[in-house]
Amino acid sequence: MTHSSPQSGYTLPVFACASAIAALQWLRQPQSLNTVLVNLITPPETAEIPIDQVAGIREGMALAITHSNPGDNLDITRNTPIWAVVEWGKSDQIEQIRIVGGEGIGRHVNAEGKAAIYDYAQQLLQENLTRLLAPSEKIQVTIILPEGRKLAERTSNAAFGIVEGLSLLGTTGISQPLSVPDQLEVYRQELQQKCKKIQVAADWVTDVADITDKLSVGGKVSMATNKPSVTSVTPS
């Protein structure tokens, strides 16, 4: 039976960033997009991410949608939609890029409800979007996980003080494959091989113990055959 190698995918922040890039590009030039390029930073490579939908909402605001693909990985966010709403910043906005957690993004109960958008996701959004902006331009990016609140019920987020949704977590853009059916089959085959080796070793130990027991009562080993046997010894 032939098994293909498990495929890696991308972490949730990568898809959030791709959605934001697509929405910003729509603000620049309203047109459909099939993919966008995301600089993953960690690792230092570029990923081409499919865009499912992108459209203008009103003047100066656009929405883009991607779907999570973590690769061959048992991840509850598989195929979940990730929305990014990008709008031009208001005159009183200080930072060039303001990142906001919308519906489905978890909030820290012990940090005044701060959105659970962690360092890697922040860095990914800032660096990829900054290169698309003129120095005088400002934008606000709102990340939305429509299914985030429901999916969070299947996690232990609440025990760590994250409520109302999922976190944009991770330290890398690559989602390594973990336990999936094909990989479990590989593990099963490896385990079978290990069991066979253990059985061979156990049989060898049993044979040695059997020979030792027989020699201890005055027998001797006959080397005439491959399998040890015992012949009687006549006392002199």
Q: What is the pLDDT of residue 235?
A: 47
Q: What percent of the chain has pLDDT over 90?
A: 62
> Could you tell me the pLDDT band of residue 112, with boundaries at 50, 70 and 90?
confident
Q: What is the pLDDT of residue 194?
A: 43
User: Residue 193 pLDDT more than 80?
Assistant: no
- Nearest residue to 70 via CA among 169, 142, 185: 169
Report which secondary-structure segment, H or E, holds 98: strand 97-101
Give the lowest-confidence range in 22-36, 92-106, 189-203, 217-231. Answer: 217-231
- What's the pLDDT tens digit per position in 164-183? 999 998 899 998 876 555 55
Query: What domains are there in the chain, each with its CATH number?
Result: 9-175 (3.30.2110.10), 181-231 (no CATH)
Q: What is the pLDDT of residue 116?
A: 94
> Could you tell me the pLDDT band of residue 136, with boundaries at 50, 70 and 90?
very high
> Once rounded to an integer, what is the mean pLDDT over residues 134-144?
97
Q: Which residue has the tokens 């853009």?
A: 173
Q: CA 12 to CA 6: how far, in whole Å?
A: 19
Q: Which residue has the higher pLDDT, 152 or 213?
A: 152
* DSSP labels, 14-72: HHHHHHHHHHHHHHHS----SEEEEE-SSSS-EEEEE--EEEEEETTEEEEEEE---BS
Query: CA angle 128-134-137, nearest 5°?
Result: 95
> Could you tell me the pLDDT band of residue 207, with boundaries at 50, 70 and 90?
low
C-beta separation of 19 from 51 below 8 A: yes
- Nearest residue to 169 via CA among 178, 156, 180: 156
SS3 158: helix
Q: CA 4 to CA 232: how far, in whole Å?
A: 58
SS3 126: helix
Report the predicted TM-score, pTM, of the whole model to 2 decimal places: 0.75
Q: What is the pLDDT of residue 45?
A: 97
Q: What is the pLDDT of residue 74?
A: 77
Q: What is the pLDDT of residue 231?
A: 43
> Once rounded to an integer, what is the mean pLDDT over residues 17-22?
98
> Once rounded to an integer, what is the mean pLDDT over residues 15-25?
98
User: Residue 216 pLDDT more than 80?
Assistant: no
- What's the pLDDT tens digit per position in 56-108? 999 999 999 999 999 887 789 999 999 999 999 999 999 999 999 999 999 99
Q: How many Cβ atoms from other residues are within 10 Å of residue 184's Cβ?
A: 11
Mean pLDDT, rounded, of the chain: 84
> Could you tell me the pLDDT band of residue 135, with boundaries at 50, 70 and 90?
very high
Query: CA angle 72-73-76, nearest 5°?
Result: 130
